[in-house]
A and B are shown apart, each in its own frame.
Chain A
Amino acid sequence: MKKYIFITTVLALLIGISSCIDEIKLNVDTEQRSLVVDGFVTDSLGDFQLKLSQSSVIGIGNDNILDPIPNATVALMDTDGETYPYVESIESPGIYELFNFKAERGKSYFVDIVLPDGKHYQSTPAELRSSSKIDNISYDVNEETFRDNAGELVTENIISAKIATDFSDAAVPPFLRWRVSGQYQVQENFPMALNPKRCYVSVNLDINDIRIFDATQVNGNELFEQVIAEAAYDFRFGEQFCFHVSQFSISEEEYNYWRNIKEIIDIDGSLFDPPPGTVVGNIRNVDDPDDVAVGYFSVASIFFRRYFVNRDETRVSVRSKCEGFFLRVPFACDDCLLLNNSTTVKPDYWEF
């Protein structure tokens, strides 16, 4: 499959050599909405969320504003007959919460959803797979030239976080999925600063960036230099940066789900694109097999690691956000809490 995507990309790029790309209007005149389920549980003790919404209609406003579905009855069940009910969040309708839960190895779990209109959905039971460790995390910084969304060529320094792992002790080669977020430090700096604050800012690094791996397809039982996240190497790396890496051991079915999602969001207009299709998740109407919800309910084991990148460790030097002399104080350099997802509370794991 991976090969196929690769070929598609190659051909698309070949075509792209002399191509021109612009936006057009295509009359899509139907309204077809589906139930969207988005949630997961892991073997790490904690609180888990599940979101229920209706898919949005293309071309009407911002597609991101989802229509939440409140007042549903949601429960996690295991195949031993145990039920763990979700509770709907009071401040965010359509979000259901499961508190203080930990999935156990060897058990299979599924979610059971009854909508306010009585429609009854369930996910396919999935057994929790054993987790895979991460042996080592590394990174490198390279100058890369690529096309941005406007089709312009841009050159940027890109940092790639890579992992190495050895799954020789795994009973079966795992299917892996990574989610990576980041956190960086901002030291306030402005003239006449009496008591400059330091903020810790969380950033998303993997929006629409699906990182998955099928260990059955590789030679040997070692994985090295596997890129799990890429980000612009910019001011965020000017002080200290922390990668938060979650490695999920997922089922083959879930692997195929993300692979298909990746395939459709990677479609880029090559004539050799495979015909797009709707990705089928693991949630179905119990009473009507043709009524398929979209989205996925995941049961996975997790391995979590943090990795710090300190300033001047790399050969490419960057300035931090508020460093240097300036006439006008850069945004947030006099109040770093103005940045999104910013806090002055130093995380206990922070190294500096």
Chain B
Amino acid sequence: MVKRIPDIHPVMLSKADFLKSWLVGLCLLLSSPILLIGQEVETFQLGEPTTAIQPIKWTGEIYSSENREPIINAVLQSDSGINGITNLDGKFEIVLTKKSHIFTISALGFEEKKVQINANSSAKLSIPLAVEAVLIDEVIVSGASEKSALKEITPGLQRLNAEQLETQSKFFGEIDILRSLQSISGVSNTGEGASGFNVRGGNTDQNLILQDGHLIFNPSHALGFFSLFHPDLVQYVDLYKGGIPAKYGGRLSSVLAVETRDGDKERFKAKGGIGMVSSRLSFEGPIIKDKVSFIVGTRYSYADWIFGLSDNPEVNQSSAFFNDITAKLNARLTPTTNLGGSFLRSRDDFQLGDEARFDYSTVSGEAYLKQLIGDKANLTLSVNKGRYESSLFDLKGNDQSKFTNAIDYTRGKVDFLYIVSDNYRLNLGADLNKYDVSPGKIEPRNESFIIPDELEVERGQEIAGYIENQFTINNNLEISAGLRYTAFSNIGARTVNIYPDGEIKTERNIIDQQTFGEGETIASYTGFEPRVSLRYELNDKTSAKVGYARTYQFLAQISNTASATPIDIWQLANQHVEPQYSDNFSVGLFKNFGRKNYQSSVELFYRKSVGILDYKDFADLLLNQNIETELVTGEGLSYGLELNLKKQTGSFRWDMNYTFSSSERQILETPTQPSVNRGEWYSSNYDIPHVFNLSMVKQFDNKTNLSINFTYRSGRPTTAPVSSYTSDNVVNVPIYSDRNRFRVPDFHRLDVAYTIGPFGKEGKRFDSSITLSVYNLYSRKNAYSVYFRQNPFDSVKAIRVATLGTIFPSITYNFNLK
């Protein structure tokens, strides 16, 4: 006999919900005595009292009180040392003795809950968990519970939790996943307005970016001020900085996995925000109640009016706009079968005056099937097909043209997870990725000199298999040992250049060409990628972790600019360009201390990469049939120290981190390539030695909160002229220093956001809030870059360019229909 607790989820409040508003909480407390119990320890009777003496089996499900979705990997821990964990369908089974037990139930992204189970006889009892409260309505992301940094086995895994996101700067009133990531230790980018992000000194193309099953090649909107992840759809964000599980592969330095929510299966909901430059809307609800649901999120920008304010004709004829839509359908066909699919489309469009337009878009579709086999194993199948395309239109003059490049990709994935026992989990699977890269096509427009040209499509196929074993040796020691094997082939049809052996590759040096037929293998590479992590719990407040991961990368973005541009092509490994691989080591010590539960960590990382691409001076990378003649390869080395200290409880929370790191390269002269900087080690573009981030949020009693964010980073490396000369009619031609020998000035910025609300009575389905934010409060002119101006009649001058060299206030209205 099952005694199911009354459905109390609408009034179940989490701790953070309390933070949200004491007033509301107080009001509810007065009106709903059940709540008090709910907040503390709820008591459940398990089964009918009997006199029989036999082991009592408690089975059940842990599910989200918000949308009744099962919660995976929820941990049930009792005061008497009995533990359980939910499987992929949220189910668990625990054997109890006949007495009362206090269980602490925790799961990523959900409020920890304490329940008292009075075990009478074997029975089924399911327990809901409240989604970890978020102070704002924009983002619901899972947060690591206080212990999870200690418990998590993978070193360098960073989960963005709600509080962390909350304290991030709200440029244009909106939280953004990519911007928020940059406040994590070890993550940075090359400047305001630069797209992408750099993890532990790695390139922007070395991050595997996934939203659910969608592979994302360019996550940035509007040159990186926004990203395509819809904040209202995001459930949680995992960033693997060092130890990368075997199920992920294909990029050297990190994995960013953004998981979106399933739509609510019970009721219709909507959320949105109206801002100065963009607005967003999301809605969700059941299609067949309790079985099939949908969620759709979309955003639209309208920044044109800002350009219109300018008196510069070049500017006021310009436009910048982006939009995106993410739609997801989920069907629970049977209690053990989940079928779903999602669609993602993101589009950016800039026009500069009447001269040029610049477009890029991602379109991707995904379908998945999750099948529970028994209650210990889960099989996931997914397929994904997508296309990233970018175009540049030259709209004026004799050379009007459209330049386009694209990458089409098809992915298939099989993942099997088997919880063999409480102490052993097995994960195995396989990946297939197919890429069709169209490196460039130019078409003339109107009356134009431009000769139409198209480079041959390059095809690649990446097949990987993996296995990962996670052992819990004892209460203190947990080990995860995995191995990934990848085979990559570059396949025809295509014509390739042949250069003489042991000679520098130049256009003049092409001695022959070889044509490969459809499907013929042009080049192939294979690699084993061991992945190991180990966690040792020194005591319940301290743990140490060690991790090692080898990673291979078979495609690289060809970009010799300080920051990648949307039109930079992706280059597959081929007979001339070898794949890159890296060895990543990380060590970390995690400690919680003090009555207020401060969380601290010290992490060290070291990455050695082989096959890193760099470029010859004045490399010509666009529409270049012989792109290999512009590339040089060498080794990369980055290492560093990351210190974190935070307080994530109470009405005043803060988080600070400091990173010291180095990221260098060495390009040696060989018979086939020239060196860079005479073969000496030099700073990579992403070598930012010192980074300090501080974020604070203060929750006031009166429905408002204030957040403050500060960032300091060393200036990025740059190459500066050291001498100059005159050549015919050109005066002050600079002679440059060694590559990246100097640095631009340091970067620092302070942002403040103030949120008022939610307005509206608690318990009503509709509420709203207003966020006032100020970006760059003290109007720092951060050097986006430094360049050197050659005036014919003056000396060479260093000129600093700041993207937003001024204070930038904004206001956003957010609403939520629950």
Q: Which residues of A contact B (CB under 8 A)?
A: 1-4, 6-8, 10-11, 13-28, 30-34, 36, 38, 40, 53, 55-59, 61-64, 66, 145, 149, 153, 179, 204, 206-210, 217-220, 223, 225-226, 259-261, 263-265, 267-281, 294-296, 298
A23 contacts B785, CB within 8 Å?
Answer: no
Q: B791 within 8 Å of A by Cβ?
A: yes
Q: Would A265 and B800 be within 8 Å (CB), given that A3-B622, A218-B449, A219-B444 are in contact?
A: no
Taking CB as reference atom, which chain B residue is nearest A20? B805
Selected A-B contacts with CB under 8 Å, 30 pairs: A7-B565, A14-B352, A15-B223, A19-B801, A19-B802, A21-B799, A23-B799, A24-B798, A26-B742, A30-B737, A32-B737, A36-B727, A55-B725, A58-B722, A59-B796, A149-B789, A207-B729, A263-B618, A267-B788, A269-B784, A272-B565, A273-B562, A273-B787, A274-B561, A274-B618, A275-B561, A276-B721, A294-B725, A294-B735, A296-B728
B799 contacts A207, CB within 8 Å?
Answer: no
Among B313, B356, B563, B790, contact of A265 (Cβ-Cβ < 8 Å):
B790
Among A7, A18, A26, A274, contact of B619 (Cβ-Cβ < 8 Å):
A274
Taking CB as reference atom, which chain B residue is nearest A64? B731
Interface residues of B in 432-454 (CB under 8 A from A): 442, 444, 448-451
Q: CA separation between A269 and B615, bound complex, in Å?
A: 19
**Nearest chain B CB to A212 CB, angstrom units:** 12
A66 contacts B622, CB within 8 Å?
Answer: no
Q: CA separation between A42 and B790, bound complex, in Å?
A: 29
A63 contacts B798, CB within 8 Å?
Answer: no
A149 contacts B791, CB within 8 Å?
Answer: yes
| CB-defined contacts of A278 to chain B, threshold 8 Å | 617, 734-736
Q: B350 within 8 Å of A by Cβ?
A: yes
Q: B773 within 8 Å of A by Cβ?
A: no
B392 contacts A7, CB within 8 Å?
Answer: yes
Known: A6-B356, A265-B790, A278-B735. 18 other contacts (CB 8 A): A10-B392, A11-B565, A16-B801, A19-B803, A21-B801, A26-B798, A55-B723, A59-B796, A63-B732, A63-B795, A179-B729, A259-B618, A263-B618, A265-B733, A267-B787, A276-B734, A278-B617, A279-B733
**Nearest chain B CB to A39 CB, angstrom units:** 9
Q: B489 within 8 Å of A by Cβ?
A: no
A273 contacts B561, CB within 8 Å?
Answer: yes
**Nearest chain A CB to B563 CB, angstrom units:** 4
Q: B515 within 8 Å of A by Cβ?
A: no
Q: B783 within 8 Å of A by Cβ?
A: yes
| CB-defined contacts of A62 to chain B, threshold 8 Å | 794-795
Q: B585 within 8 Å of A by Cβ?
A: no
Q: CA separation between A20 and B804, bound complex, in Å?
A: 7
Q: How large is the interface on B (under 10, 10 to 19, 20 to 34, 35 or more residues)?
A: 35 or more
| CB-defined contacts of A32 to chain B, threshold 8 Å | 722-723, 735, 737
B785 contacts A153, CB within 8 Å?
Answer: no
B560 contacts A275, CB within 8 Å?
Answer: yes
What 8 A-B pairs come out closest when comparing CB atoms?
Answer: A277-B617, A269-B801, A269-B787, A20-B805, A55-B725, A36-B725, A26-B798, A55-B723
B223 contacts A14, CB within 8 Å?
Answer: yes
User: B278-310: contact bitstring with A at CB < 8 Å (1 yes, 0 no)?
Assistant: 000000000000000000000000000011001
| CB-defined contacts of B806 to chain A, threshold 8 Å | 20
Q: CA separation between A23 and B799, bound complex, in Å?
A: 4
Interface residues of B in 560-611 (CB under 8 A from A): 560-563, 565, 567
Residue in B307, B314, B801 with the greatest tally of chain A CB atoms within 10 Å:
B801
Residue in B621, B784, B785 with the greatest tally of chain A CB atoms within 10 Å:
B785
**Nearest chain A CB to B731 CB, angstrom units:** 6
A153 contacts B618, CB within 8 Å?
Answer: no
Q: B403 within 8 Å of A by Cβ?
A: yes
B725 contacts A53, CB within 8 Å?
Answer: yes
Taking CB as reference atom, which chain A residue is nearest B716? A271
Taking CB as reference atom, which chain A residue is nearest B802? A20
Taking CB as reference atom, which chain A residue is nearest B796? A58
Q: Would A3 and B623 be within 8 Å (CB), given that A17-B310, A261-B730, A278-B735 are in contact?
A: yes
Q: CA separation between A38 and B791, bound complex, in Å?
A: 19
Among A59, A218, A271, A295, contact of B561 (Cβ-Cβ < 8 Å):
A271
Q: CA separation between A21 and B194, bound complex, in Å?
A: 17
**Nearest chain B CB to A47 CB, angstrom units:** 16
**Nearest chain B CB to A207 CB, angstrom units:** 5
Q: CA separation between A259 and B618, bound complex, in Å?
A: 9
Residue in B313, B449, B451, B621 with the greatest tally of chain A CB atoms within 10 Å:
B449
| CB-defined contacts of A53 to chain B, threshold 8 Å | 725-726
Taking CB as reference atom, which chain B residue is nearest A18? B804
| CB-defined contacts of B313 to chain A, threshold 8 Å | 145
| CB-defined contacts of A296 to chain B, threshold 8 Å | 727-728
A226 contacts B562, CB within 8 Å?
Answer: no
| CB-defined contacts of B394 to chain A, threshold 8 Å | 6
| CB-defined contacts of B725 to chain A, threshold 8 Å | 34, 36, 38, 53, 55-56, 66, 294-295
Q: B193 within 8 Å of A by Cβ?
A: yes
A219 contacts B565, CB within 8 Å?
Answer: no
Q: B620 within 8 Å of A by Cβ?
A: yes
Q: CA separation between A298 and B358, bound complex, in Å?
A: 38
| CB-defined contacts of B615 to chain A, threshold 8 Å | 274-275
| CB-defined contacts of A57 to chain B, threshold 8 Å | 722-723
Among B358, B451, B737, contact of A28 (Cβ-Cβ < 8 Å):
B737
Taking CB as reference atom, which chain A residue is nearest B621? A4
**Nearest chain A CB to B447 CB, angstrom units:** 10
**Nearest chain B CB to A315 CB, angstrom units:** 21
A24 contacts B786, CB within 8 Å?
Answer: yes
Q: CA separation between A278 and B737, bound complex, in Å?
A: 8
Taking CB as reference atom, which chain B residue is nearest A225? B398
**Nearest chain A CB to B677 CB, angstrom units:** 11
Q: Would A271 and B562 be within 8 Å (CB), given that A4-B622, A265-B730 are in contact?
A: yes
Q: CA separation between A59 and B620, bound complex, in Å?
A: 31
| CB-defined contacts of A267 to chain B, threshold 8 Å | 787-788
| CB-defined contacts of B350 to chain A, threshold 8 Å | 14
Residue in A58, A59, A298 with the greatest tally of chain B CB atoms within 10 Å:
A58
A63 contacts B802, CB within 8 Å?
Answer: no
| CB-defined contacts of A268 to chain B, threshold 8 Å | 787, 801
Q: B714 within 8 Å of A by Cβ?
A: no
| CB-defined contacts of B736 to chain A, threshold 8 Å | 264, 276-278
**Nearest chain B CB to A51 CB, angstrom units:** 8
A34 contacts B735, CB within 8 Å?
Answer: yes
**Nearest chain B CB to A320 CB, angstrom units:** 26
| CB-defined contacts of A263 to chain B, threshold 8 Å | 618
**Nearest chain A CB to B520 CB, angstrom units:** 31
Taking CB as reference atom, which chain B residue is nearest A181? B729
B727 contacts A294, CB within 8 Å?
Answer: yes
Q: Would A58 and B790 be within 8 Å (CB), given that A19-B802, A264-B734 are in contact?
A: no
| CB-defined contacts of A24 to chain B, threshold 8 Å | 745, 783, 786, 798-800
Among B399, B448, B785, B805, contact of A2 (Cβ-Cβ < 8 Å):
B399
Q: Would A63 and B796 be within 8 Å (CB), given that A20-B805, A277-B736, A294-B733 are in contact?
A: yes
A64 contacts B732, CB within 8 Å?
Answer: yes
Q: CA separation between A275 and B309, bound complex, in Å?
A: 33
**Nearest chain B CB to A224 CB, angstrom units:** 8
Q: CA separation between A13 and B721, bound complex, in Å?
A: 23
Q: Would A209 and B786 be within 8 Å (CB), given that A21-B801, A273-B562 are in contact?
A: no
Among B618, B623, B792, B802, contact of A260 (Cβ-Cβ < 8 Å):
B618
Q: CA separation between A32 and B734, bound complex, in Å?
A: 11
Q: CA separation between A55 and B724, bound complex, in Å?
A: 5
Interface residues of B in 471-517 (CB under 8 A from A): none
**Nearest chain B CB to A290 CB, angstrom units:** 9
| CB-defined contacts of A280 to chain B, threshold 8 Å | 617
Q: CA separation between A57 and B720, bound complex, in Å?
A: 12
Q: Would A218 and B352 be within 8 Å (CB), given that A58-B795, A208-B731 are in contact?
A: no
| CB-defined contacts of B792 to chain A, threshold 8 Å | 64, 207-208
| CB-defined contacts of A260 to chain B, threshold 8 Å | 617-618
B355 contacts A10, CB within 8 Å?
Answer: yes
Q: CA separation between A28 and B732, bound complex, in Å?
A: 16
| CB-defined contacts of B617 to chain A, threshold 8 Å | 260, 275, 277-278, 280
